[in-house]
Each structure stands twice: as C-alpha cells, then as structure tokens.
Structure 1
Amino acid sequence: MSKVKYYYDSETLSYRKIEKKKGRRLGIFLLSLLGMVLSGFVLLLIYINLPYIETPKEKALTRELTNAQLQMNLINKKMDHATEVLEEIENRDNNIYRVYFEANPIPEEQRKAGFGGINRYKELEGFDNSKLIISTSKRLDILTKRIVVQSKSLDEVALLAEEKEKLLEAIPAIQPVNNEDLTRMASGFGYRNDPFTKARKFHFGMDFTAPRGTPVYASGDGKVTRADNTASGYGNHIRIDHGYGYESLYAHLYKYNVRSGNRVKRGDLIGFVGSTGRSEAPHLHYEIFKDGERINPINFYYGNLSPEEFTNMLRASQQENQSLD
C-alpha cells in the first residue's frame, strides 16, 4: 500500500492530501526511459571504440614496438650494405686471390647456403611482427655464415701467400757467379763437344768461365745436402735442396764455404771456382734439377740479370761449342 502524502495549505490553515497526477507519472516514466536509452547508447559507443582507446601503458608499448620496427628496418639496410661489401670481397677472393695462388674458387652455393634441418626460428613465430623478425634473423644468419666462409678462405690465402713467398725465395733465380767476375759464358745446356773425347755429347748444365778462387753464390734458399768430391766427374761440388722439387749443383770448386746440413739464403757465398774433377780449365759447372730431372738453367736468371744481359747470355748459351767438362 502506497503512502499518502499531505501538504500544509496556509490559506485554509489545514493539511491537504497530495493528489498524484497521471500525466506527471507518465512524464517521469518517459524521462527515465530516455535516460536509460541514452546511457545504453553511450555505453555502446564506449564498447565499440574500446579497442582504440589506449591506456598510458599501452601507448608506451606502442611507441616501443614502433621503435623496434624502425630498428629492424635500419638493421636490414645495414645488412644490405654489408652484403654488397661482402660480395665484392668474395668476387675478388674467387677471381684474383685464389686464382693467383692456384686455389679452387669457393662455389656460390657453398658461400650462400642456408640452414637445413629443424626450424631454427620456431620460437619467433606467433608475434605481430614475426614475419619481419624471422626474415631479418635468416638474413643475419646467412650473412654471418658467409663471413665465416670468407674468413676461412682468407686464412687459406694467407697461408698460400706465405708458401708462395717461400717458393719464390727457394727457386734458384740468380746467376751463381757475378757478371763482373766472368771471363765468359763458356757453354750452355744441350749438345756440345766433349773436351776429352771430342764426341758430341749432351751437356746438362751451364759452364761459367772465371779465375780460380772466384766467389760462387747460392742461387736460392735451401739446405746443403752435399759438399764433397765423391761424385764421379764433378770434383769438389755442392748440392742444395731448395724444396718444392728444386735442387741446384755447383761443380769443379776450388774449395767450400759451407758444409752439408747448412741452411743458406739466396746470394750466400758457398764456395770458390776451381778446376777439380773432370775439368779442362777453371770454371763453374752449374745444374738445376726439378723433381729429379735436369732442366735448362737459362730460365732461372730473372733475379739479377737485366733484359740485355739475359739476351746476351741466351745467345752465348745456344752456341754449339766445346764444353769445359
């Protein structure tokens, strides 16, 4: 049962009953209904736009994510530049360095090979920027592998260069007797008349005519393997093993300046011109061996002869005269 309300009427000095008006009740109802509709509409707008409303923390995270994307893009640009530089190094390595040192080029598929087997990037999947992160990670891994391959190649080239330097130092490359000490280049490599039998015979070295006691020099770095007179016909002679299949022989010496087992450098004094053994006059008989075979020494004087001097020596060595041993 609803409560009855009264109000005081000052004119009649009495209390009167408050009568409820039907129109007012309807207005209050409609006003309440309108308020509810407006409130629901506002709540609906808020709900619809809720994903676009960021809290301060979400804004900070968004800024960090944007910055991370920017950094990833910068890393990719830097990798583009690094890849260009590495490709130039790889090209020079394959077409210059490895060719010069007679090493096989590294195949392109070996340099740029990826990584097979298990998925190395599974832990990077499922994020908003997984595609960018995985792509960058793959590029970085492949670039790192290419750098490792190139680093190993350069280490190999460095060793080959060191060996090449040793080879160049070892090859007999100078004339064993100085030009100013020579009387003449008496005989070269090839068929010559034997001074004792007068028969035509193959001469396996070169004869340098010089006075007795003229210095004889090692034509390349190596180890003295013989310094004696036990080989038939050579008299006092020295044999040097230069390595890489090269040997040199210096015969008919007056005396030695080295002993067997000594290591010598190109240009070191090893002995003196004489006429010991099967020799007709003071001279140096000089031979070069490659892999046990005698070869023409005329091709090994690039270390101390000018083009003109070499031409004159070549002309003299080709004359079919009489040898001195």
Structure 2
Amino acid sequence: MAKLKYYYNTHTCNYERIRVSKMDVFLNFLGFFLLVLVFAVGIIFTLSRFYDTPKLTNLKKEREVIIQSYQDLHKELNANEDHLASLAEKDDGIYRIYFEQAPIPTSIRKGGVGGTNRRNDIYESTNSDREWMIGTYQKIDQLSHEILIQEKSYNLIDELAYDKAKMYASIPAIQPISIDDMTRLASIFGMRMHPLLQFERKHEGIDFTAPRGTPIHASGNGYVEAAFYSTSGGYMVVINHGYSYQTRYLHMSKFDVVKGQKVKRGDVIGYVGSTGLSRAPHLHYEVLKNGEPVNPVHYFNKNLTQEQYELIVELVAKQNDFD
C-alpha cells in the first residue's frame, strides 16, 4: 500500500494530505521515460561514434581487402601496359619492317575505346572510390583494345611469315646434283660456241658432269609442270616452283616423276644421262625467273659451304662443253 504524504500549509498552520492526480502520475512517468530515452540515445550515439559494431568491423576489413586487390590489379595493368608497349615497338620496328608492312598508327593502337558506356553503375555511383575505380576500368578497356590490335597484327605477320617460309622453300636454292657426285661444271651460263651445232648462242643454264645414273634432285618445292622427251633436250623435266620461278632439267637417262606431281626440295626427279643433243653424261640445268633464264649459280646458297663454293669456282675454270 502506497504511503500517504502530507505537506504543511502555512496559511492554515495545519498538515494537509497531498493529493496526486492521474495527470500528475502521467506527467511524471512521461518525464522519466524521456529522460531514460535521451540517456539511451546518448549511449548509442557514443558507441556508434567511437566504437565499431562487429558487422561494421567486418565490412571495413572487406573494403580494405577490395582496395588492396584493386591496387594490385592497377600495378599489374601498368606492368602489362609496359609489356604491350614493348611488343608494339618490336612489331612496328622489326617484324613489320622485315615483312614490308607499314607501322600501325598510334591513333589506331590507342583509339577506338569510346562508345556506349558499359559500366553506368560505376559512373553513376557516389562511392568515395568512384574515380579510382573508373580509372582502373578505363585502363582495362584501353589494354583490351590494344591487345586486340596487336593480335590482329601478329596474325598478319604469322601469315606473311608462313608465306615467306613457303616461298623460301620453293625458290631454287640447291644444286640439282650433289657436289660429291659432280666431277666438273662443263659449261656455264652465258654466250658460248655450241659444241655440236657449231655456232654461237646463249647457254641458258649450267652443265653438271656426273656419272650416268647419278640422282638428280629438285632444287626447290613445286610441282612437275612437264616431263617428256625432246629431240634436243632428251628426257627432261620442268618444275614450276611458284613465285615466278621455274627450273628445267635436261639430258636425263630417265625421269622419276610424272606431270602434276608435287615435289619437295631434295626429292629425286631423275638420273643423269646423255639423251638428246649431248656428247657425254651430264645434266643441263636452267633457272627461269618470270619466264627469263637467269644464272643458276646465284641460287646455290642453301647447301654450299665456303670451301664447296670455292670448289665450284675451280670447276668453272675447268669447264668444257658437252651440249
């Protein structure tokens, strides 16, 4: 039971009972509640201002990890950018020059990244790291563009290299008769007196003397354009090497290929003989460029050492005519 409370009335000089209304009780309760509420808010504000919640602590740690990852990514992008610039420099300064291609303009290597914004969520973000993130993604887009340009350039260089390798394999570049089987160069390229017809005319090839039956080799890749018997050339083979080159092999004892057959450098296509207008076993060998005979000696650059080349020169000095 609640205690009764009294107060001293100075006017009546008597103690009178204090009467508490419901409103007084409500106001007292409300005041107490507000006081507690203010106190609680103050505590919460203080804790949130100076102390992190476990969830906030975890979020901050995650943010630090993300920032560190972005920084590492940025460093890696810078390193890749330097590496790509080095590749582009070699591409323009070495490879494209070697294959007679113009350097790629800087406007093409560096341009072409604009257009529809594919990352609106970042550009429209209010995040404090927005500018830094935008810069990172812009660098990624730029590198992606430059890599694409470089890839296309390397694809072109690869095609040109393949074609050039194919051309080098096709150009007549070896002797049709091994130097170990050859005894002398009977006749060289140029004007001379024909030994059988007895009048001066241009000798459009080189005559290699060798024992009858010595293997004759294709001097480059190609296909057999013709293989037939001629009154003057005897058994002969014509190889089309492509790239405006042809070779002719005359006076064979027999040929070992047929028309249309593909051959590779070094393949045996026939054997030394003395058929047609010939006085002794030998091979008459011609190289044609754009349909015109050229000096075959200029194409003996694939299988001769310096000593062997000097031997060729010595054999030329001992030349004799057999056709």
TM over 0.5: yes
Kept in 1: contact 2:246–2:289 (CA 8 A): yes
- Partners of 1:243 and 1:314 in 2: CA distance: 29
Q: Is the 1:76–1:136 contact (alpha carbons within 8 Å) kept by the matching residues of 2? A: yes
Q: Look up the equivalent residue of 2:76 and give its one-letter code.
A: K
What is the CA distance between 1:198 and its match in structure 2? Answer: 3.5
CA deviation after TM superposition for structure 1 residue 85, in Å: 2.0
SS in 2 for 1:288: strand
CA–CA separation in structure 1 for the residues paired with 2:43 and 2:53: 17
Q: Which runs of 5+ in 2 are unaligned?
A: 17-33
Which residue pairs with 1:261 in the alignment?
Answer: 260
Where does 1:176-187 land on structure 2 (aligned, <5 Å)? 176-187=176-187
Q: Deviations over 1:63-84 (max 9, x none)?
A: 4333322221111011111112
What is the match of residue 304 of structure 2?
Answer: 305
Q: Which segment is superposed worse, 132-141 or 202-211? A: 202-211
Q: For residues 256 and 43 of structure 2, what CA distance do their matches in structure 1 show?
A: 108
Q: Measure the CA separation in 1 of the matches of 2:112 and 2:263.
A: 51
Aligned twin of 1:279: 278
Counterpart amino acid of residue 203 in structure 1 = H
Root-mean-square deviation over aligned CA pairs:
3.5
- Cα distance between partner residues in 1 of 2:116 and 2:47: 43
SS, match of residue 138 in structure 1? helix
Question: CA contact under 8 A between 1:219 and 1:266: conserved in structure 2?
Answer: yes
* Residues 12-46 of structure 1 deviation map (CA, whole Å, 9 limit, x = unaligned): xxx9336xxxxxxxxxxxxxxxxx9xx99x98999
Q: CA deviation at 1:163?
A: 2.6
Distance 1:206 1:281 in 2: 15
2:261 & 2:223 partners in 1: Cα distance? 6
Please say if residues 193 and 200 of structure 1, whose CA atoms lie closer than 8 Å, have aligned partners that are also in contact: yes
Comparing 254-263 and 49-58, the one that deviates more: 49-58
CA–CA separation in structure 2 for the residues paired with 1:249 and 1:212: 18
Could you tell me which of 118, 122, 141 is aligned with 2:120?
A: 122
* Cα displacement string for residues 230-255 of structure 1 (whole angstroms, at most 9, x for unaligned residues): 4x632211011122222111011121
Moved more, 308-317 or 48-57: 48-57
SS state at 1:229 partner: strand
Q: In the alignment, which residue of structure 1 is the partner of 2:59?
A: 61
State which drifts further: 212-221 or 146-155.
146-155
* 1:72 alignment partner in structure 2: 70
Flag structure 1 segments of 5+ consecutive residues without an equivalent: 8-14, 19-35
Q: Could you give the per-residue CA deviations for residues 90-129 of structure 1, whole angstroms, max 9, x where no partner exists?
A: 2233333333344443333322224123334433123222
Amino acid of the structure 1 residue aligned with 2:217: Y
Task: Report the CA distance between 1:57 and its aligned residue.
Answer: 4.2
Contact preservation (8 Å) 1:188, 1:316: no
SS in 2 for 1:151: helix
SS of aligned partner of 2:208: strand
Offset, 1:206:
0.7
**1:88 lines up with 2:68 in the alignment:** no
> TM-score, normalising length from structure 2?
0.78
Larger mean Cα displacement after TM superposition, 51-60 or 163-172: 51-60
